[in-house]
Structure 1
Amino acid sequence: MSAVERRTAVAEAPAPGALPALRRRISTVLIVSQILGGLGVATGIALAAVLARQVSGSESLSGLAPTATVAGTAVLSVPLAALMTARGRRPGLVLGYLLGALGAVVVVVAAAVGSFPLLLCGMAGFGAASSANLQARFAAADLAEPDRRARAISLVVWATTLGAVLGPNIAAPAGRSVAGLGIPRAAGPFLWAGGIFVVAAAVVAVRLRPDPLLTARALAPPEEHSSAGRSLRAGLAAVAASPRARLALVTVAVSHTAMVSVMSMTPVDLTHHGASIDLIGLVISGHIAGMYAFSPLMGRLADRLGRLAVTGLSVGLLAVALFLAGTAGDSHGQTAAGLFVLGLGWSAGLVSGSALLTDAVPQSARAAAQGLSDLTMNTSAGIGGAVAGLVVAQASYAWLNLTAACLLIPLAALALFTRAGRKRPAPADG
């Protein structure tokens, strides 16, 4: 531990007895930033595929807009995680929101000039805000007690509900607000999202003090103060050494990929069946409610029943959701039900996987392993989103759901194998 790190540890360590109040204050700040971040992301992403189809003139390319966002989230999660590992959560979250605001502005410019490549670049930058939102759940876990860690994560995930549910429903007025400016209506939500991200960055910069990650390090035992284990390579090694950490990575990757792939193409499928923009907004709002509103329940179940049990619940919910959405046809109600259950399955997978990963790796390697987790889940989802557009264009939305369902098979097998490994008695010595 260097002299600078020792001074930082002393500065960030709370006074005796102050930790409960500090947990509450940090949680409050993260909740506010999540509401704003969720509002911004959901406002923009609601019509991303529609905007991409308008700018590109091709339905097969429409899935590339949400895919670019997911890819940007994945790629930018690496430098953001490295920044958090070195400097703490606050600078990483602030930078993520500001990059998201810049990306939103680029999307608006691209839509105005009709440049599809520039649109994809802006969508990638927009994804940085999603990366900041995802990393905030780990900030909540930094100071949480181990037996309440899943609930701490789920509370911050839940906070996104308020903004994320409202976001798709203000997409229409946001679109109308740019009428006469030479900007497509589908780009209006991105203009609003950029301003919201700036406010979120300001809240984190001013109020997230002391930094939760640096405080957790200051409270850690002396043997965990070494900076040698804080590189991304060390995070990879920590995950590779733990079967539970590997399961955690697969859980969040599969649940996120299935959700992103199906959700991103649902608006396109609904338009094929005569749905209006307002109806699409309601369906996506219901989906987002499923994602976030019940996350405290998932957190409580993960703390009480165990992370592996909730991982199994995630697999079951996702399977039901894909069946409902894939067989809905012209039934908008069944599509809405499928998307709602899809959100529930995602919530169970994200909360249980995030808590399991935090449990399974040493404190010194957690930030790096968490960044690796977000890189993995968003890279997988980016590939899934790209494939989703092609599957719908060449086959159908039903085939997309069936393809996503196939991803659940290896996750279920790995969860069963990990559970069996835990129950297997250790060999006797000598």
Structure 2
Amino acid sequence: MELKHEHSSAIQNNRKKADSYIHSPAEQQRLYKRTLLIVVISQIFGGAGLAAGVTVGALLAQEMLGTDSYAGIPAALLTLGSALSAFLIGRFSQRSGRRLGLGLGFLVGGIGAIGVVMAAIMSNIILLFASLCVYGAGTATNLQARYAGTDLAGPTQRATAISIAMVSTTFGAVAGPNLVEPMGRFALSMGVPALAGPFMLGAAAFTLAGLVLLAFLRPDPLLIAKSWDRQQPKKSAEANPSADQSSIVNNRGLIVGTTVMVLTQIVMVAIMTMTPIHMKHHGHGLSEVGLVIGIHVGAMYFPSLVTGILVDKLGRTFMAYTSGVTLLAAGLLAAIAPGDSLVLLITALALLGLGWNLGFISGTALIVDATTASTRAKTQGTLDVLTALAGAAGGALSGMVVASSSYAVLSYAGGFLSLLLIPVVIWTRRKSAAPKSSAM
């Protein structure tokens, strides 16, 4: 009864706060900017935590298992954990707001990182796999946080808001892989295996990100947005005769946005997961691996500010096409690059990150456009599950593909798979245009 009373009081307080903003555009913009600032700060820490699993997860599993065939399993487990977490975070955020949903998600991810460190110390592969699943909560939260900035954004600000949240991840995400070697030395000085060092950083980073959100993301942007929606005057059927058609277009927006994110995630995760293994086989050390993955992760996030503006100005579908072409170039270059060429590997992985960035922001913007505050968080969480599962499939299959063929075959396959973005988007646009033409 007390919990219900507290939840009811929180809703009433948010409605009162919404009243103070709804009639003042200046106050709305101030709240929007403040929300973005808090999200940016949390994402800087979250990015550092995200990079640990990406950089050394596969190497840690390879060291403990003694084979390459299952080196893609850590990425698969991490993304499976991310999928479950995205679903739970989405529903919890819909009910209780972004602050609690995202804050607790980061803290759970920090617990998972601690579990990975303990697994490395104990050389316990089962604990490693279980902890990587829990660590996936931090990854899911890091991606879900991009939605928090859009709750209070106008239609022409949404892609830019997404990009601001994502570009702030760059600082931590680029620093993380480049701290692999120093963190490895730090871990060794404490009697911990070197490859567990980055996860020690991840534990601290995810925990700090969660605490920032829990302490400062007030008032909650999603709860305020829901209150605004409830207080907007309802349009009559006569004033909005095309409501049914709008719903159809929104559903198609969800389909194409999800497809874009799923395909870009599969291609990116598959190639990225096996690149450290490929580099190790060609004599590259941890510092070179950290450099390549650091630049790759930087390319995933750093272009976001420009990408968001382009998506808002040039359109979601045009940027989705651009993503497919960029990912194709990345796959082809990764396939033909000599294994000992650090420059070409850096270029290929940078293109891979950029292609993912273009697809992920345009896909996310399509999804935000097609949702309302009343269902936004749980819908976004559900669709992020599909994206995470796609990444899990890409990560799991990548090791098997490379073990049975080669890294080049994997890269070719990923590059050509990305081209499916173009016919899918064209088909969806034609389906969306058909009712309009028939109506005329």
TM over 0.5: yes
* 1:270 counterpart residue number: 279
Q: CA deviation at 1:70?
A: 1.1
Q: CA deviation at 1:339?
A: 0.3
* 1:359 counterpart residue number: 369
| 1:85 correspondence with 2:94 | yes
Q: CA deviation at 1:44?
A: 4.0
Looking at structure 2, the residues matched to 109 and 28 of structure 1 have their Cα atoms a distance apart, in angstroms, of: 34
| 1:426 correspondence with 2:436 | yes
Q: Where has structure 1 moved over 4 Å in runs of 4 or more?
A: 2-6, 221-225, 238-241, 422-425, 427-430
What amino acid is the match of 2:118? V
What amino acid is the match of 2:42? S
* 1:337 counterpart residue number: 347
Q: Is the 8 A contact 2:94 2:378 kept in 1?
A: yes
Looking at structure 1, the residues matched to 146 and 418 of structure 2 have their Cα atoms a distance apart, in angstroms, of: 24
- Range with bigger deviation, 155-164 or 9-18: 9-18
Cα 1:18/1:176, change in 2 over 3 Å:
same
Matches of residues 79-118 of structure 1 in structure 2 within 5 Å?
79-118=88-127
Looking at structure 1, the residues matched to 249 and 381 of structure 2 have their Cα atoms a distance apart, in angstroms, of: 14
Q: CA deviation at 1:71?
A: 1.1
Deviations 1:113-144 (A, max 9, x none): 11112101111111111111111110011001
* 1:183 counterpart residue number: 192
Q: Is the 8 A contact 1:240 1:246 kept in 2?
A: no
Q: CA deviation at 1:188?
A: 1.3
Q: CA deviation at 1:25?
A: 0.8
| 1:35 correspondence with 2:44 | yes
| 1:415 correspondence with 2:425 | yes
Looking at structure 1, the residues matched to 92 and 248 of structure 2 have their Cα atoms a distance apart, in angstroms, of: 20
Q: Is the 8 A contact 1:43 1:170 kept in 2?
A: no
Q: CA deviation at 1:21?
A: 0.9
* 1:373 counterpart residue number: 383
Looking at structure 2, the residues matched to 241 and 424 of structure 1 have their Cα atoms a distance apart, in angstroms, of: 15
Looking at structure 2, the residues matched to 18 and 294 of structure 1 have their Cα atoms a distance apart, in angstroms, of: 29
Cα 1:198/1:309, change in 2 over 3 Å:
same
* 1:155 counterpart residue number: 164
The count of aligned residue pairs is 417
* 1:232 counterpart residue number: none
What amino acid is the match of 1:144? A
Q: CA deviation at 1:273?
A: 1.0
Looking at structure 1, the residues matched to 188 and 396 of structure 2 have their Cα atoms a distance apart, in angstroms, of: 31
Deviations 1:7-44 (A, max 9, x none): 25413414333111111111110000000000111134
What amino acid is the match of 2:81? G
- TM-score when scaled to structure 1? 0.92
Looking at structure 2, the residues matched to 269 and 89 of structure 1 have their Cα atoms a distance apart, in angstroms, of: 39
Looking at structure 2, the residues matched to 241 and 356 of structure 1 have their Cα atoms a distance apart, in angstroms, of: 9
Q: Is the 8 A contact 1:112 1:183 kept in 2?
A: yes
What amino acid is the match of 2:382? L
Looking at structure 1, the residues matched to 283 and 307 of structure 2 have their Cα atoms a distance apart, in angstroms, of: 35
Q: Is the 8 A contact 1:8 1:214 kept in 2?
A: no
What amino acid is the match of 1:184? P
Deviations 1:223-267 (A, max 9, x none): 799xxxxxxxxxxxx899711210000111111111111111100
Taking only aligned residues, the RMSD between alpha carbons, in angstroms, comes to 2.1
Looking at structure 2, the residues matched to 427 and 421 of structure 1 have their Cα atoms a distance apart, in angstroms, of: 10
Identify the match of residue 411 of structure 2 among 398, 401, 416: 401
| 1:198 correspondence with 2:203 | no
Cα 1:58/1:308, change in 2 over 3 Å:
same
What amino acid is the match of 1:72? G
Structure 2 counterpart SS, 1:92:
helix
Q: CA deviation at 1:318?
A: 0.6
What amino acid is the match of 1:309? F
Q: Is the 8 A contact 1:239 1:246 kept in 2?
A: no
Q: CA deviation at 1:360?
A: 1.5
- Range with bigger deviation, 110-119 or 176-185: 176-185
- Range with bigger deviation, 4-13 or 341-350: 4-13
Cα 1:121/1:19, change in 2 over 3 Å:
same
* 1:391 counterpart residue number: 401
Q: CA deviation at 1:429?
A: 5.5
Cα 1:427/1:324, change in 2 over 3 Å:
closer
* 1:10 counterpart residue number: 15
Give unmatched runs, 5+ long, in structure 1: 226-237
Matches of residues 48-87 of structure 1 in structure 2 within 5 Å?
48-87=57-96
Looking at structure 1, the residues matched to 310 and 75 of structure 2 have their Cα atoms a distance apart, in angstroms, of: 31
Looking at structure 2, the residues matched to 286 and 335 of structure 1 have their Cα atoms a distance apart, in angstroms, of: 10
Give unmatched runs, 5+ long, in structure 2: 1-6, 235-246
Identity %: 35
What amino acid is the match of 1:10? R
Structure 2 counterpart SS, 1:146:
coil
What amino acid is the match of 2:12? R
Q: CA deviation at 1:83?
A: 0.5
| 1:297 correspondence with 2:306 | yes
Q: Is the 8 A contact 1:80 1:96 kept in 2?
A: yes
Identify the match of residue 128 of structure 1 among 130, 137, 143: 137
Deviations 1:80-100 (A, max 9, x none): 111001101011111111111
Looking at structure 2, the residues matched to 428 and 69 of structure 1 have their Cα atoms a distance apart, in angstroms, of: 47
